[in-house]
A and B are shown apart, each in its own frame.
Chain A
Amino acid sequence: MISQMKRPITIIISALGGQGGGVLTNWLVNLAEQCDYFAQSTSVPGVAQRTGATIYYLEMFPKSSVTDKNIPPVMALMPMAGDVDLVVAAELMEAGRAVQKQYVTPNKTTLITSSHRVYSISEKIAMGDGIGDSQTVMRAAHDAAKHFIAFDMADLASKTGCVISSILFGAIAGSKSLPFSRENFEKAIKAEGKMVDVNLRGFDAGFQAAEKSTGESPPNEVSNIAAAMITGKANSPEAEALIKNINALPETTREFAYAGAQKLLDYQDLDYADEYLRLLEGFAAEDKAPFDITRELARYLALWMAFDDTIKVADIKTRTERVEKYRAEVKAADGQIVQMVEFMHPRIEEITGTMPRIMARMVENSSLLTWFFKKFTGPRLLDTTKISSFLMLYFIASLKPIRRKTERFHQEFIHITKWLDRVSDVMTQDYDLAVEIIKCQRLIKGYGETHERGLNSFSRIMSAVDQGNIKAHRVTELMVAALADEKGKTLENELGINHS
């Protein structure tokens, strides 16, 4: 009685909400049925119905393989690990999940995935960089699949103006993993009858991209750090001198030093950039290959020297190039009127921080002046396309020349100097520790509370350093702890600080 042991074609589709997984499933069912196949599909949206992934599962079976075309074979409602012919994922980590569940095996599975990322909440709420490692997933996917096709379909979809599902459908056709012709695929889109032109355009783009995909391992993105010589675009002898100074630094540090100098020129002036480079030169002279100290300092010193103050924010928000970038990102049409309403919440600290030191002291000591300036604090909306708001920010940005005299500047430089002293103190005895001390600057960022919290964590770690007898890896641990929670509890526990 046991007849031929034919097995069906098995397909998994994993898509996030709005990526059109359901439409893709319908196309595939339509495709199979018009080619004289039995087709069955099902899905599990489950608790993941909001913001999660929906998994669709399809089976197809040729009618030519059964004796009575009215009696379909038994088709499964869920995939079996090791028994999936085609896995289609509309996002990279969802492809990774299919690999994790062993639905992708080297003897049979074609894996087609978009390489773009839709970040999950855990990646988004991290206080630093919580993004999952795409390279590991790409590598694992490549190793596990028989054929592996990956490209950025979100990008292609936005370029073609279609939904990612049509790109995926095209990529399935282009991969030649199903026994159907391109015409059959296109017929399925036409049969569904929704947004046919757009979908066909997306299909074509996906088809071509998949055909071009060689299945080679994705190249590792290694940035070319050792940029030999910085040419720059200096337009004055003073600026040229700076470029020369940058090129006098060790090769591995130049890229950051150049970016840092540019940042500081933009932030303040050429003298400020020069000051930065002189500090770097001092450290480079004491440093040794591979010049990690100078390189990391080039990065973090620039970031600290360009601390976020009111003048910087006002400057950025009143620039021409900002308006262009802004309009492009919000997809404004050419000539469309766009109001740009900024959400500001200045505190008295931000206002006095922007004043010259003497004046700031005066305000702090006078309750009348404090009362007066408090009138400018609190939540406010500033539409920078309106003249009044624009002028206000424009005026604040024009305070750049007095920045060096402000209270905030003074405070920041007390910290910077201490930090640099620490680095020079330890760099000869414990090179790695010096590097880690530099990296701790990463904790200090932002405004208001974020800035206070960061500075507080930084200070705690630095006082642990100052007690001596600390190793580099310990500083790394403390930094991880500082970024673990907003209340600083993890760091307190690490340091044995008890508040109860």
Chain B
Amino acid sequence: MAERSFAKEVQKLRLGTGEVFHGEGILAVTKGLLQSGVAYVGGYQGSPVSHLMDVLADSQEILSELGVHFEANGSEASAAAMLSASISYPLRAAVTWKSTVGTNVASDALSNLASAGVIGGTVIIIGEDYGEGASIMQERSHAFAMKSQIWLINPRPNLPKMVDMLEKTFQLSEASNTPVFFQMRIRACHLHGQFIAKDNIKPKFTLRDALDNPNREADKIILPPFTFLHEKQKQELRWPAAVKFIIDHGLNEIIDSSGKNQGNDIGIIFEGGLYNVVIRALQMLGLATSMGESKIPLYVMNVTYPLVDSELIKFAKDKKAVLMVEEGQPNYIEQSLNKIFNDAKLTCKISGKDLLPAFGEYSGQVTKDGIKGFIAKYNPELLDQDELETSMASLSATSTSELDAAIPARPPGLCTGCPERPFFAALKMLEKDYGEIHISADIGCNSFGTLPPFQIGNTIMGYGLGAASSSAFSSVRGKRAISIMGDGGFWHNGLTSGIASAVFNNSDNVFIIVDNGYAAATGGQYIPSSAKTLKEDDRKARIQDAVQGVGVKWVRTIDSYAIAEVKALVQDAMTSDFYGPKVIVIEGECMLNRQRREKPVIARNIKAGKREIKQRFYVESETCSGDHACIRLSGCPSLTIKPNPDILREDPVAYVDNSCVGCGVCGENVHSAVLCPSFSRADLIFNPTAWDRFKYYLRQMVIGFLQRRRDRKRAKVTL
């Protein structure tokens, strides 16, 4: 059960020719796939394309009506390998993942795919996680396109253009026998807009057709001498075919409203994805309209690889200078322009990273400043207005340092009631007793353990690579290293890259696998060990069986919320006489998913008059010391602070807000870490039985009597 359900929205995928589609970029792209007659789809979740996987998963019914196979691939490498079906069969295919990380994982299969070439249109939709909101290291996917010769589409970000480009991308792939990357940035994925739909197309050639008539083409095998042949084909056949297709179908666009005016001696070249920001920047400078008409000629690269030399030369021939707006680094396109213009003996000057920042996201302000600098250098008469300058000038000189100091950062953290919190709390307590430990962390929700308040984990090397990351320390006697890995990473590759390798090398390290039941960080997608109820029998695969299967002898399983026991178990693993890999599986279902499952049931039961107990925590303001040791072991969003109600005391007191789900971590922490006696758990009983009421009444009689007695005594002296 993914975090977001598209069950209702996927009905839009059924729209036919002429109907207007309203919706998100991700959904529009899915519609584009169906309109293109795709035969099979797959991928691996990750921001910003997690929702694309969710949409595909939720549209199984529609897909099967069309005969389209959907595969929730085990990793990006699996997804890329699946594309091999299009090498010898005319099957259109699409897979998706987060880039550049997913592309890294997939690159072995991608290289082979690109070498063999495809006859069925093959599209890889990459969610480029760059700039604001990114959760990964900042690199460009462009390098992969160049090294493997996979074409790279970076379309103008509006829905009609994206859908149209997607259909053209399949054609381009088939025309040039080359797989194609279709690049989408986060804002394009979440973009709400509309376009005119077309009918969905059933694949002409089906997967069944392929199996019934297998086609083996020896020269598509990646072995010499064919690999040399592939390289030759890439250069001599596929590249020219792609360039021809791009020119013939006008995939790149020239926008020029300069007429014979003075703006026509300079030009701007940019990646299609930057179109809206470039237009807006020009608009601010009075050089473009809302409708996209521009006084300066523009060359929009909806295809950023390969470059079309002839188009570029034609565009720049009579110009004294062009500005290349290319996000990220290195500036591959700008470098290529220099070579192309030099070979063509053009006198046109090329600006790019000299006027625009060398790295980082090209936001509106940055782009406008770069364009302004370019115009000032080559055609200053065009600059007579800068709309933004007026508004920025009107800003008073409020002390920015004062404001910076007042505004706290808001880093991500674990959700309310998260099962990983008690585990990290246990590790933190263990480090206090046992001393600090070298810990290799991983990708996923568990990455947040490296942030305050826990700050646990020395390195992150990639998804599922937590276990492998500590292998340098695997034979050191004495203090052991710990590796942490989520269940998502474990199935993605950690079982083999980490655990099996540790067995093979007789590693003495401790491996902790956090089993929350889902690929939780990307939105709660299912993985092999997922189960709707988390009952053992419902699982397709058990992590414990898998690690035992690869030869681990020391395997323990524990409930993550039992903090004292978790701490003791990890300590045991750290100090045990056993030599060899020690695996601890920490179990606790993702609280978001659990709440989504349990909350409606409890609400229904209460409504139906069944007895239910809801738990939540409470902090006594009067006894809270204001030291916040409890929060330093938790960081739970529902465990927060409030101003001290006592006018004599200055430090804010801890406070549990109404979002508490009563997971029990606060209480466990109080006991394990010997915190203050301020925590209390409220058990709210709904629909009590007669016995409940009788006991309560009896107790209240006694307790109430004693309380009133003391109240009276206290009231005797007041001040």
Contact = CB atoms under 8 A, between A and B. Distances in A.
B658 interface: yes
A416 interface: no
A48 B410 contact: yes
B400 interface: yes
B403 A76 contact: no
A257 B535 CA distance: 61
A93 interface: yes
B391 A108 contact: yes
Contact of B650 (A120, A442, A451): A442
B648 A302 contact: yes
A122 B452 CA distance: 8
B406 A121 contact: no
A316 B620 contact: yes
Nearest to B523: A49
B215 interface: no
Nearest to B282: A74
Contacts of B608: none
Interface string B691-712: 0110010011011101110110
A132 interface: yes
A338 B628 contact: no
Nearest to B411: A121
B187 A53 contact: no
A61 B292 CA distance: 14
B652 interface: yes
Contacts of B132: 44, 46, 78
Contact of A320 (B390, B635, B711): B711
A121 B409 CA distance: 8
Nearest to B292: A74
Interface in B659-677: 659, 666-667, 670-672, 674-677
Contacts of A242: 719
Contacts of A1: 257, 259, 293
B631 interface: yes
B283 interface: yes
A123 B628 CA distance: 10
Contacts of A74: 158, 275-276, 279-280, 290-292
A18 interface: yes
B395 A105 contact: yes
B135 interface: yes
Contact of B683 (A43, A79, A105, A338): A338
A47 B131 CA distance: 11
B684 A131 contact: no
A96 B406 contact: yes
Contact of A337 (B670, B681, B692, B716): B692
Contact of B647 (A93, A107, A129, A259): A259
A270 B682 contact: no
Contact of B452 (A99, A121, A128, A234): A121
A442 B651 contact: yes
Given A29-B192, A105-B394, A124-B628, A52 B412 contact: yes
B674 A448 contact: yes
B311 interface: no
Nearest to A80: B364
B100 interface: no
Interface string A26-62: 0001000000000111111111111111000100010
Contacts of B363: 78, 80
A47 B412 contact: yes
Contacts of B289: 2-6, 73
B392 A105 contact: yes
B719 A129 contact: no
Given A80-B280, A107-B390, A303-B649, A93 B674 contact: no
A345 B677 contact: yes
A276 B625 CA distance: 22
A83 B391 contact: yes
B330 interface: no
A65 B290 CA distance: 10
A269 B681 CA distance: 31
Contacts of A65: 290
A107 to B, nearest CB: 5
B718 A235 contact: yes
B453 interface: yes
Contacts of B623: 308, 312-313, 316-317
Interface stretch (A165-173, A326-334, A491-499): A326-334
Nearest to A99: B403
Interface string B282-304: 01101001111101000000000
B176 interface: no
Interface in A415-438: none
Nearest to A138: B406
A134 to B, nearest CB: 8
A50 B627 contact: no
Contacts of A122: 408-409, 452
Contacts of A129: 626, 650-652
Contacts of B641: 119, 123-124, 131
Contact of B707 (A261, A319, A447): A319
A282 interface: no
Interface stretch (A208-216, A358-366, A384-392): A384-392
A181 interface: no
A150 B699 CA distance: 48
A244 to B, nearest CB: 12
B170 interface: no
A144 interface: yes
Contact of B675 (A7, A25, A71, A345): A345
Interface in A188-206: none
A40 B707 contact: no
B211 interface: no
Nearest to B189: A42
Contact of A81 (B364, B406, B710, B717): B364
A238 B276 CA distance: 79
Nearest to B25: A42
Interface string A217-241: 0000000000000001111101100
B16 interface: no
Contact of B717 (A235, A259, A263, A486): A235
20 contacts: A43-B187, A46-B133, A49-B412, A50-B445, A66-B290, A72-B158, A73-B292, A77-B187, A105-B391, A132-B407, A236-B717, A302-B648, A303-B649, A320-B711, A341-B680, A343-B677, A390-B702, A397-B710, A447-B677, A454-B627
In order of increasing CB-CB distance, the 10 nearest A-B pairs are A46-B133, A446-B625, A80-B364, A379-B671, A73-B290, A82-B391, A339-B683, A47-B135, A105-B391, A133-B406
